[in-house]
């Protein structure tokens, strides 16, 4: 009950434009967000990726912040930033060219007919930047609300047909994901499995945390099963749930998946100790590394995922440092 109330409050804060403008100017909030967001620009994201790789052997998936964009100039900015990070990554020997994209970032709400062309440009930039390099390079399609799942899957399939290095996210809260996963396994795709940051009605979605977890485990079972192994499928288990991670490690071992033939993905700043431990055990671990000027909605959603983060928020607000305009 308290958890739901806390999450609802944080989601309302994330959606408030006035709150965003106010908070993004506040140095104390900026300091708090630094836990979850690499910085304002691609260089800051690269620096974080280097730090993670050097200190813990952890890889990065880069994400330029800004979702559900409804202004053409912001769509252009998003596309430019994705292309820029791909260009910068071309000069990096050790860092994967692994870039996450939300379809609504690149125009699904403004001009859907152009989304394919923009995704294609980003996919090609990733391919060029990663040519001849070792590592796992890809354009990872994030999954947004249930109304865009068909579109996102079709976009993924189109990119793969063109032999571009596309990967896709599926959400365990959706009932349809089992069917979608079956098809993607058969095609030897790369799939990142998450629980889902959205809610749905019971005809399309599992609605309780317990049901979602059960379905997550079922889908992990498919991702690390014999058929997936035979088809060349690449499983990406994206959760902070250390029990599920431990079960996946055990299942992979039992089913003959060597370490590095699947991976774990988590969010920057969330349960960093768990990520580090997995990496120390020899597992391949990647962190989602967001960067960009518009950090408030993303950071407040992360804070909202765990009521214990309320302490962090209160400490920041009560800290003695004076608020002054940030240089995001
Ligand atoms: C790499 C990655 C990509 C994602 N992409 C998408 C996407 O494309 N579409 C989408 O709908 N969702 C996406 N998500 C979000 C995802 O759907 C979940 O909302 C989120 O990961 C929380 O679920 P969980 O599996 O970590 O488990 P939970 O059961 O929520 O958490 C497991 C444990 O981690 C702790 N924890 C979780 N979050 C936090 C936090 N912020 N701070 C402190 N502790 C925390 C919990 O307290 C609990 O102990 C993504 C998540 C990851 C990791």
Instruction: Render pLDDT for 198-249 as a digit per residue (tens, 0 to 9).
Output: 889 999 999 999 999 999 999 999 999 999 999 999 999 999 999 999 999 9
> Which pair of tokens denotes residue 98?
């692994």
Indicate the length of the chain as a whole number.
328
Whether 216 is in a domain gets the answer yes
Q: Which pLDDT score is estimated for 150?
A: 98
* Nearest atom of ligand 1 to the alpha carbon of 194: 17
Report the number of distinct structural domains present in the chain.
1
Is the pLDDT score of 4 beyond 90?
Answer: no
Whether 219 is in a domain gets the answer yes
* Burial environment of residue 8 by CB neighbours within 10 A (0 to 12, 13 to 18, 19 or more): exposed
Q: Which pLDDT score is estimated for 208?
A: 95
Whether 55 is in a domain gets the answer yes
Whether 224 is in a domain gets the answer yes
Whether 44 is in a domain gets the answer yes
CA of 240 to the centre of ligand 1 (A): 6
Name the nearest CA neighbour of 122 among 69, 78, 57, 67: 78
Q: Which residues line ligand 1 (CB under 6 A)?
A: 142-143, 169, 171, 194-198, 238-241, 265-267, 270-271, 288, 302, 305-306, 309
Note the pLDDT tens digit of each residue in 232-244: 999 999 999 999 9
Q: Which pLDDT score is estimated for 328?
A: 24
Please measure the distance between the N-terminal and C-terminal CA atoms of the chain and give it in whole angstroms.
35
* Nearest atom of ligand 1 to the alpha carbon of 265: 1
- In the chain, what percentage of residues exceed pLDDT 70? 94
Long-range contacts of 203-208 (CB under 8 A, 24+ apart): 204/146, 204/174, 204/175, 204/176, 205/146, 205/173, 205/174, 205/175, 206/172, 206/173, 206/174, 206/175
Whether 324 is in a domain gets the answer no
142 or 26, greater pLDDT? 142
CA of 221 to the centre of ligand 1 (A): 19
Is the pLDDT score of 1 beyond 80?
Answer: no
Q: Which pLDDT score is estimated for 302?
A: 85
Question: How many other β-carbons are positioned within 10 Å of the β-carbon of residue 289?
Answer: 27
Whether 257 is in a domain gets the answer yes
Whether 31 is in a domain gets the answer no
Mean model confidence pLDDT for the chain: 91
User: Which residue range(s) make up the domain with 258?
Assistant: 38-294
Active-site positions read 142, 192
CA of 150 to the centre of ligand 1 (A): 23
Nearest CA to ligand 1 atom 8: 142
CA of 196 to the centre of ligand 1 (A): 8
Of 59-63, 90-94, 322-326, where does the model show the most confidence? 59-63
- CATH number of the domain encompassing residue 226: 3.20.20.220
Query: Is-contact 60 135, C-beta < 8 A?
Result: no
Is the pLDDT score of 323 beyond 60?
Answer: no
Query: Is-contact 126 138, C-beta < 8 A?
Result: yes
């Amino acid at each position: 009950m308290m958890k739901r109330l806390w999450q609802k409050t944080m989601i309302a804060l994330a959606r408030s434009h006035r709150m965003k403008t106010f908070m993004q100017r506040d140095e104390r909030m900026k300091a708090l967000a630094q836990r979850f967001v690499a910085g304002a620009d691609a260089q800051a994201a690269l620096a974080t990726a280097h730090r993670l790789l050097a200190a813990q052997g952890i890889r990065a998936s880069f994400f330029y912040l800004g979702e559900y964009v409804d202004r053409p100039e912001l769509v252009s900015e998003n596309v430019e930033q994705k292309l820029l990070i791909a260009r910068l990554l071309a000069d990096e020997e050790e860092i994967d060219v692994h870039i996450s994209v939300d379809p609504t970032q690149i125009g699904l709400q403004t001009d859907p007919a152009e989304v394919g062309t923009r995704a294609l440009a980003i996919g090609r930039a990733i391919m060029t930047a990663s040519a001849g390099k070792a590592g796992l390079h890809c354009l990872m399609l994030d999954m947004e609300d249930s109304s865009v799942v068909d579109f996102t899957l079709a976009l993924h399939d189109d990119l793969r047909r063109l032999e571009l290095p596309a990967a896709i996210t599926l959400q365990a809260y959706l009932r349809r994901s089992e069917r979608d996963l079956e098809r993607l396994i058969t095609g030897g795709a790369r799939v990142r499995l998450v629980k889902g940051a959205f809610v749905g009605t019971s005809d399309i979605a599992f609605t309780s945390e317990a049901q979602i977890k059960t379905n997550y485990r079922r889908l992990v079972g498919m991702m690390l099963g014999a058929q997936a192994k035979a088809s060349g499928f690449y499983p990406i288990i994206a959760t902070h749930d250390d029990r599920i991670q431990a079960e996946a490690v055990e299942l992979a071992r039992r089913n003959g998946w060597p370490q590095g033939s699947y991976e774990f993905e988590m969010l920057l700043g969330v349960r960093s100790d768990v990520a580090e431990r997995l990496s120390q055990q020899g597992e391949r671990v990647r962190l989602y590394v967001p960067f960009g000027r518009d950090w408030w909605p993303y950071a407040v959603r992360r804070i909202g995922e765990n009521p214990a983060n309320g302490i962090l928020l209160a400490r920041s607000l009560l800290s003695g440092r004076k608020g002054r305009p940030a240089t995001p």
